Structure 1
């Protein structure tokens, strides 16, 4: 089987507005806000009439992203086998550019092709279910069909920056929808960031855990104040995500020593070799990984092995993922060992998806598809409707 073509199509799908249940648009961060999000859908075709799909966000522009995929990466891999995902990832190299960021969507599509060709879901190709309770179920009675591991994955609710009282009501919505973890953006005003967490914690009477993500928006002293103020209020975050700028690992280690709030680098993990530096500097309690900057599922597996070997728990990041990348994340966190914390998601907040059967989210959980490949069918009419 050989790859014959790589095509990319950009869609722009609106978010459900804040006034609606579980709506989060406009989603405000310390560097902007979004009411919709452009996503690039990548289709890889083969000479065996099997095609696979991947997904990524736009970089610079839709046209620029599509060009890198179709005119840059496509010719490098055409005529080669989609089964050799690891070799392809290492082969695709462009000097001065982190091309893995773009290759990840192509790599995901290759996994989709391989699964379809072998009639196996991707998570089985990765090794199968790995969570402790799932392993226990298998060992309890391997012959009993009911003891097979379930394929539900718990997710964390994500919320942009809102005034404390509006954040309060959204925390109630998240709890009533069955979520146990809420991640909120931060970084524009550290005192307001503290007030929002306090308001949400009070509203749900401590029944939600919180993640606070300023996207590098605090200085070291502000991060110390946030963490200390929350400790004084008796609030202990699940983690503070990338509180200060990247490539400042000694400062992250200092912050970790001064606070009892767990520190979780995210953007730092996008930079090659940073995981080793973070580990060596004692600069993280949790790693927030992402398969796109890692170069795909194979790159994510490599990163997961590094942090697991260091004894660091890890989870997966969200980038306003539609159904294709959500499927890839589901397979990855279910099929790779060590994902012990719920991944982030905003999937509940899309007005529509580009899948024929969008994922159902119940009690803060989604089910890993069991059909071959990524296990999802693409709605071509929806792509045409939202195409940029």
Structure 2
């Protein structure tokens, strides 16, 4: 048996505390599900991966985990065909799980689900392969072109705490519900992590209120890049209004309207660059968006695209079309941040600082939390991803997931349901919202 042969795969679903961050769909739940994948080889080497942990993803991950022993960690191209064969077209769960996490990527298809599941297995195999060969993952992807990766502060309108009566882990950030609160939040990010660019999650309040927040940031941080992302909450007309008010202020406007057609109409009416992680999330969506100049920047996400190799393929396509590149983030832990950093280090034309929710996460499953210095993460040259699993902490977070009576309703992320804990009549708004 080759030392690269997979002998065991372990799946550990967990629930990780999450602060009350607001978006157009509602608010983050007090706990968000993640899935940790461990791939063990005949040599006793274990590689790590991480992805969404909602029950829909788990139902696909389990048959893939069962089918992997006997395969080699180097046979990465075979992962996709294997997943298609053994996972099939498992239907999404009912309710919020029929939408992507947070409702921000449209209706889930079987292909989208499989790619998000395969991404964790591909990363785990690369981690195991790198550990076995004594090489960092970036070397397996062709080698790094930078020694550190630039990240942007991710700002949110937020409550001070989750509603009373909801089990949660408190934090000390306080509320941010107006421009002054957003600026205070940004100052703390800059002070603690050295961030020099800022992205605000919009689509929460009426556009003029969010315009005011961006202008307040521009006054507080003159010359620093600013971004605004309302998650497709606006009409074409509202998008053009906001773009006009913030012309010369925004580095880019991300997904102001929903869908390629609406984005193309916005793009035709403004010279503010438009970015997306919503209308370009699969290969078939690329042609229409790029040929119609609907977007000028794509926020890649290795969870969406199926792993690190396919992220590099996307980067090459963007380069061919002259489309800029950055990286999208959803609530993630240190394994995913390490994977993002490793692949980002290998992309020559990573034009913009990457997103990361990581500073918001107070819990992790790695032994040493990753640090941002001057808003950047140093690219690890340690074999594999460069992170180690904290087994004790993993067990605690898995224990929370197992406690169905207390936490069972958090196993599927549903921002609208979380909002109803504070506002029983809340329904996720249809778009355009304004």
Range into which the TM-score falls when normalised by the shorter chain: 0.7 to 0.9
Offset of residue 90 of structure 1: 4.1
Q: Does 1:31 align with 2:46?
A: no
Aligned residues: 350
Counterpart position of 2:213: 196
Counterpart position of 2:180: 165
Counterpart position of 1:145: none
TM-score by length of 2: 0.77
Correspondence 1:217-366 to 2 at 5 A: 217-231=233-247, 235-246=248-259, 249-366=260-377
Q: Give CA-to-partner distance per residue, 1:89-110, whole Å, 9 cap, x none.
A: 2442134612112111011101
Q: Give CA-to-partner distance per residue, 1:17-66, whole Å, 9 cap, x none.
A: xxxxxxxx32111112124432211111222211111001223x3xx433
Inter-partner Cα distance in structure 2 for 1:385 and 1:119: 31
Q: Is the 8 A contact 1:156 1:364 kept in 2?
A: yes
Q: Is the 8 A contact 2:327 2:355 kept in 1?
A: yes
Inter-partner Cα distance in structure 2 for 1:36 and 1:27: 12
Alpha-carbon RMSD? 1.7
Inter-partner Cα distance in structure 2 for 1:277 and 1:92: 27
Q: Does 1:124 align with 2:135?
A: no
Q: Is the 8 A contact 2:144 2:345 kept in 1?
A: yes
TM-score by length of 1: 0.86
Classify the secondary structure of the residue corresponding to 2:117. helix
Q: Give CA-to-partner distance per residue, 1:238-273, whole Å, 9 cap, x none.
A: 111111113xx2331221121121101112222331
Q: Does 1:13 align with 2:3?
A: no
Q: Does 1:371 align with 2:382?
A: yes
Offset of residue 310 of structure 1: 1.0
Counterpart position of 1:185: 201
Of 119-128 and 237-246, deviating more is 237-246
Q: Is the 8 A contact 1:174 1:182 kept in 2?
A: no
Counterpart position of 2:130: 115
Offset of residue 324 of structure 1: 0.3
Counterpart position of 1:74: 65
Classify the secondary structure of the residue corresponding to 1:314. strand
Counterpart position of 1:54: 49
Classify the secondary structure of the residue corresponding to 2:110. coil
Inter-partner Cα distance in structure 2 for 1:273 and 1:302: 14
**Relative contact order (C-alpha < 8 Å, sep 6+): which is higher?**
2
Offset of residue 168 of structure 1: 1.8
Counterpart position of 2:57: 65
Classify the secondary structure of the residue corresponding to 1:41. strand
Q: Does 1:384 align with 2:395?
A: yes
Inter-partner Cα distance in structure 1 for 2:7 and 2:296: 44
2:224 to 194, 208, 232: 208
Offset of residue 121 of structure 1: 0.1
Inter-partner Cα distance in structure 1 for 2:181 and 2:142: 43
Q: Is the 8 A contact 2:50 2:336 kept in 1?
A: yes
Q: Is the 8 A contact 1:126 1:336 kept in 2?
A: no
Classify the secondary structure of the residue corresponding to 1:352. coil
Classify the secondary structure of the residue corresponding to 2:283. coil
Inter-partner Cα distance in structure 2 for 1:14 and 1:5: 29
Inter-partner Cα distance in structure 1 for 2:289 and 2:61: 31
